[in-house]
Amino acid sequence: MRRIYLDNNATTQIATEVVEAMLPCFRESYGNASSVHWYGQEAKALMDKGRQQVATFLHAEPNEIVFTSGGTESDNLAIRGIVESVPGTGKHVITSQIEHHAVLHACQMLQKLGIKVTYAPVDAEGLVDPAEIEKSITPETVLISIMHSNNEIGTIQPVQEIGAIARARDIYFHTDAVQAAGKVPLDVEQMGVDLLSIAGHKFHAPKGVGALYIKKGTKIRPLLYGGAHERNRRAGTESIPHIVALGRAAELAMTEMENNTRRILELRDYCETEILRRVPHTFLNGSRTRRIPNTANIRFDQVESEALLINLDLAGVACSTGSACASGSIEPSHVLTALGLPPEQAFSSVRFSLSKFTTREEIDHVLNLLPEMVERLREKSPQHNKSFVMHAE
């Protein structure tokens, strides 16, 4: 059966160039980057190159890049690492209601330790109001953590404005840019961030590698204790194949970004416009304009999204209801709920996320399947309302 992958916010296909860059690290260049001999030096040179590539990608300096196992670790290191390194009691953190669970659950853990956390609301498009963040600041605020782009709806936050507020108040600012990396340009200086998380598998590198940008001079307490790797910020022998892959993926993303963005944006807009046109009672969730180019989160009223996903999967089409980490959850999406959607609408929303590998033909195939599939599901739906369907015709 023909298979179409439209779940690129969950993870992406590894680019051939990335696989090719990694392969020699398994059989030939397998040294430990901390060893003094030739093998070690070779591994260190590969690691240095990867670090330089990631630094260039983020407009940072190589010493400001710490390699991690992915987005979750980067977020945890940023949040716990900063909060635990700042002395004093009664500390306060500001984040938003629509963060990824890697941030939300790290913050909830801090609350158990007595740290106060403010979860800033978002508007109907999923945007945080910088004035709201500013109002939430107290003399105890040590960290603001607001994501760059949302994984479910793709909304891009006013990171630069929040960065300026944080800087003026001398408060650390972290952004989770896991969904932004490879999709929009990232410049840590311009955004005014002190910490920024990325994960390789969201932009055509393998799972199990990510990075945290830590601005020069920022004190951070590590999550892991052991050797002096990563300048004492992340102990453990570095995985050279993964680092090489992350560096190569970052380099590719930079050179291809302009072309890819144009193509993906065009395809995404085509896909979205046609779904909204061909399938009655469908709506876009989140912001139409302030959005990463590959994401469309669409509500199919009176359709259970899980049923739609299963039917799409049976037809060879992979997409999702939102966060891959929360799938199977019986709770409605915390992101869609924060936008103000009632549970039944949150439960009827599907995320389509494209990549550079998505083709117009694939989108056409999905567009041809969807109207009939949705109609069939609506007829079977317990909340089905005949006049609702008839009106749509």
Ligand X SMILES: Cc1ncc(COP(=O)(O)O)c(C=O)c1O
Binding site for ligand X (CB under 6 A): 70-72, 75, 100, 102, 147, 151, 176, 178-179, 199, 201, 210, 324
CB 183, min distance to ligand X, A = 12
Q: Which one-letter amino acid corresponds to residue 50?
A: G
CB 69, min distance to ligand X, A = 7
Strands 4-5 and 317-318, by their bridges, are parallel
Q: Which is nearer to ligand X, 201 or 233 (by Cβ)?
A: 201
Q: Residues 6 or more apart from 269 whose CB is under 8 A from it?
A: none
CB 373, min distance to ligand X, A = 26
CB 351, min distance to ligand X, A = 11
Q: In angstroms, rounded to a whole number, what is the distance separating the alpha carbons of residues 49 and 22?
A: 13
Core vs surface per residue 267-277: b (16+ CB within 10 A) or e: bbeebbebbee
CB 50, min distance to ligand X, A = 17
CB 197, min distance to ligand X, A = 7
Q: Which is nearer to ligand X, 102 or 212 (by Cβ)?
A: 102
Q: Which is nearer to ligand X, 44 or 202 (by Cβ)?
A: 202
Q: In angstroms, rounded to a whole number, what is the distance separating the alpha carbons of residues 98 and 152?
A: 9
Q: In angstroms, rounded to a whole number, what is the distance separating the alpha carbons of residues 183 and 203?
A: 8
Residue 107: active-site member: no
54 in Cβ contact with 246 (< 8 Å) = yes
Q: Which is nearer to ligand X, 322 or 332 (by Cβ)?
A: 322
CA torsion through residues 130, 136, 140, 143, sign: negative
**Nearest in space to 147 (alpha carbons), one of 110, 214, 101, 204:** 101
Catalytic residue among 107, 271, 319, 325: 325
**Nearest in space to 48 (alpha carbons), one of 29, 72, 74, 70:** 29
263: left (phi over 0), alpha (psi -120 to 50) or beta: alpha
CB 233, min distance to ligand X, A = 18
Q: Which is nearer to ligand X, 149 or 261 (by Cβ)?
A: 149
CB 209, min distance to ligand X, A = 8
302 in Cβ contact with 279 (< 8 Å) = no
Nearest residue to ligand X by CB is: 71
268 in Cβ contact with 8 (< 8 Å) = no
Residues marked as catalytic: 325
